[in-house]
């Protein structure tokens, strides 16, 4: 006969408590650790969303108007915020650093991004305005060197389907500079800087006050109706539905023009917000639609969503509490909002206070994607996946913010110290960079200046300075595309040119003057 033996009530209680504790504490930690260990086995889809000219203080999670950014704020609640994530001071340089993991000066992107025939900028660099053989002012052809390995290249090699959606700004003319030659299977959007959101023209294209059409799908001009922020989100969602059903992971680089100028007519929210804030709200709508699609497709746990911005906002007000603006090397010019979401891998609602630079994105995402970091050109960035996924300390202590040879002040950060030109700031005691302490710390100034000069000396020869855009005034960006432009697009461009301002007062242009003594004042929309 078998006797059923039941534990006494005290033992029952202990067992129950232990079991509950295991479920509540141990089991989730074990599952989380196991999840993170899957990085090497199961590579996630990667959606890298880049806003443009958004200020540090614009998102609600940084003290901005929560009505403007509910979706971006929700993304932050669901993932991790990076509190010390730094970009470069301007658009093109950040994009080159992001896609290569290397400082922009190594590709001359730090001045090529300013070579739009802007006389004031070129004068500071002692570079003459480019002209054709007959003397017609034109632009130098600039773009990311074809010798550079991009994030698209590295993830393609790792088996990813890749797409570049939105603003490219790493070359707009020669085929070797365009996305399909730089590691992307698909392309949609514009090549140049700040487009008209509705007409998809680059207005006031330098050096002449005319415009160029700049909207393409797979590097063919496409005349579409719609607000560019919405169209970029539409394309991202369309491709996500296709690529999300495939066995291979996908990498979507979604680079919005928003909220870069010119801020033309906004399709909605104008009855509640001013033009800039309405553009922010439209950007937030777009981000929300993309993330919602990830969730609706049931791929959230195998999709890393990375949201950030290319540089600081145009005024100190939107960059508070930091000093400086876009186009300066103060914290207001380089410290940007940054959020990562990957359920099961990144802790929900967490904040990472470690120093991370835009050049770190390349090695971090390539590592997470199972790609190789072996390449011809050495990286300036470091793999930050242990920092983001495991809470490790960042190995980064130094950032070369601006090398010598650009229109901005040479600047470098090392630990708590930051040198901007000849001014030294202690970011630990003075994060707002209000007090120059160079006279009290001459040895640190010398050390940082020598390090900055040593790095700047690694700038390669420029070469091909004489390579210029011909014709000076194309109808469409993209050399091959301009050669066979349709009559509809030609008419569209000519109509816009006839309606634009033809002559500018001496010294007056539709873009700001270059920075002087580390400061810049934006008038108008900051294009």
CATH, range 404-458: 3.30.1120.10
Q: Which residues contact 144 (CB under 8 A, 6 or more apart)?
A: 96, 99, 100, 107, 109, 150, 170, 171, 177, 182
pLDDT at 111: 83
Taking only the tens place, the pLDDT of each residue in 477-497 is: 999 999 999 999 999 999 999
Label residue 69 by pLDDT band (50, 70, 90): very high
State the DSSP code for 301. Answer: G
pLDDT at 512: 73
Tokens standing for residue 525:
């929309």
pLDDT at 526: 65
Label residue 352 by pLDDT band (50, 70, 90): very high
Homologous superfamily, domain 43-396+472-499 = Alkaline Phosphatase, subunit A (3.40.720.10)
Label residue 525 by pLDDT band (50, 70, 90): low
201 neighbors 161 (Cβ within 8 angstroms): no
With a pLDDT cut of 90, the percent of the chain lying above it is 76
Mean of the per-residue pLDDT values of the chain = 89
pLDDT at 6: 31
Range from 19-28, 280-289, 293-302 carrying the lowest mean pLDDT = 19-28
pLDDT at 366: 98
pLDDT at 129: 85
Given a cut of 70, whether residue 252 has pLDDT beyond it is yes
pLDDT greater at residue 27 or residue 156: 156
Label residue 464 by pLDDT band (50, 70, 90): low
CA 338, CA 461: separation in Å to the nearest integer?
34
pTM of the model: 0.91
State the DSSP code for 57. Answer: T
Q: Please, where are the H alpha helices in 135-216?
A: 151-157
Label residue 461 by pLDDT band (50, 70, 90): confident
As a whole number, mean pLDDT of residues 148-174 equals 97
Taking only the tens place, the pLDDT of each residue in 355-392 is: 999 999 999 999 999 999 999 999 999 999 999 999 99
269 neighbors 278 (Cβ within 8 angstroms): yes
Tokens standing for residue 301:
């746990």
Taking only the tens place, the pLDDT of each residue in 397-452 is: 999 999 999 999 999 999 999 999 999 999 999 999 999 999 999 999 999 999 99
Q: Cis peptide before 321, with omega less than 30 degrees from 0?
A: yes
User: Helices 228-243 and 275-296, interaxial angle, to 10°?
Assistant: 10
Label residue 465 by pLDDT band (50, 70, 90): low
pLDDT at 116: 66
As a whole number, mean pLDDT of residues 10-14 equals 42
Listed by start position, the domains of the chain span: 43-396+472-499, 404-458
pLDDT greater at residue 371 or residue 194: 371
- β-pairing verdict for 411-414 and 417-420: antiparallel
Q: Alpha carbon of 238 to those of 71, 179, 200: distances in Å?
A: 20, 19, 20
pLDDT at 32: 36
Range from 103-117, 173-187, 277-291, 434-448 carrying the lowest mean pLDDT = 103-117
Label residue 120 by pLDDT band (50, 70, 90): confident
Q: Is 507 left (phi over 0), alpha (psi -120 to 50) or beta?
A: left
What is the number of residues in the chain? 527
* DSSP β-bridge partners for residue 357: 86
């Amino acid at each position: 006969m078998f006797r059923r033996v039941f534990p006494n009530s005290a033992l029952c209680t202990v067992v129950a408590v232990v079991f509950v504790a295991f479920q509540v504490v141990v089991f989730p930690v074990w599952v989380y650790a196991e999840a993170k260990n899957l990085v090497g086995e199961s590579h996630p889809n990667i959606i890298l969303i880049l806003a443009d000219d958004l200020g540090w203080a614009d998102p609600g999670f940084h003290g901005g108007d929560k009505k403007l950014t509910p979706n971006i704020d929700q993304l932050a609640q669901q993932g991790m915020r990076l509190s010390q994530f730094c970009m470069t001071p301007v658009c093109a340089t950040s994009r080159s650093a992001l896609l290569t993991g290397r400082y922009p000066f190594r590709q001359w992107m730090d001045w090529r991004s300013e070579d739009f025939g802007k006389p004031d900028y070129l004068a500071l660099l002692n570079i003459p305005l480019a002209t054709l053989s007959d003397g017609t002012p034109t632009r130098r052809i600039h773009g990311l060197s074809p010798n550079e390995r991009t994030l698209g290249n590295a993830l393609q090699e790792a088996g990813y389907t890749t797409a570049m959606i939105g603003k490219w700004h790493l070359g707009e003319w020669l085929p070797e500079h365009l996305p399909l030659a730089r590691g992307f299977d698909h392309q949609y959007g514009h090549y140049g800087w700040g487009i008209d959101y509705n007409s998809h023209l680059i207005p006031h294209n330098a050096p002449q006050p005319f415009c160029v059409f700049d909207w393409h799908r797979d590097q063919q001009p496409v005349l579409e109706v719609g607000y560019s922020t919405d169209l970029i989100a539409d394309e991202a969602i369309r491709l996500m539905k296709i690529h999300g059903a495939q066995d291979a992971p996908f990498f979507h680089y979604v680079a919005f023009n928003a909220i870069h100028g010119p801020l033309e007519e906004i399709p909605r929210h104008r009855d509640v917000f001013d033009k800039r804030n309405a553009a922010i709200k439209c950007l937030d709508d777009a981000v929300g639609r993309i993330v919602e699609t990830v969730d609706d497709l049931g791929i959230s746990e195998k999709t890393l969503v990375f949201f950030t911005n290319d540089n600081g906002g145009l005024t100190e007000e939107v960059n508070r509490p930091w000093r400086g603006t876009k186009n300066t090397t103060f914290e207001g010019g380089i410290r940007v909002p940054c959020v990562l979401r990957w359920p099961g891998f990144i802790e929900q609602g967490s904040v990472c206070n470690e120093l991370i630079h835009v050049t770190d994105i390349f090695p971090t995402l390539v590592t997470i994607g199972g790609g190789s970091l072996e390449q011809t050109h050495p990286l300036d960035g470091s793999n930050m996946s242990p920092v983001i996924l495991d809470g490790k300390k960042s190995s980064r202590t130094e950032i070369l913010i601006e090398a010598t040879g650009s229109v901005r002040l040479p600047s470098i950060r090392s630990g708590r110290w930051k040198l901007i030109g000849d001014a030294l700031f202690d970011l630990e005691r003075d994060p707002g960079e209000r007090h120059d302490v160079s006279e009290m710390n001459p040895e640190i100034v010398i050390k940082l200046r020598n390090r900055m000069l040593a790095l700047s000396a690694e700038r390669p020869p420029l070469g091909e300075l004489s390579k210029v855009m011909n014709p000076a005034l194309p109808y469409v960006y993209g050399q091959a595309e301009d050669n066979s432009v349709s009559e509809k697009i030609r008419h569209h461009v000519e109509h816009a040119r006839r309606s634009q301002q033809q002559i500018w007062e001496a010294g007056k242009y539709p873009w700001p003057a270059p920075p002087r003594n580390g400061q810049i004042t934006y008038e108008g929309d900051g294009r």
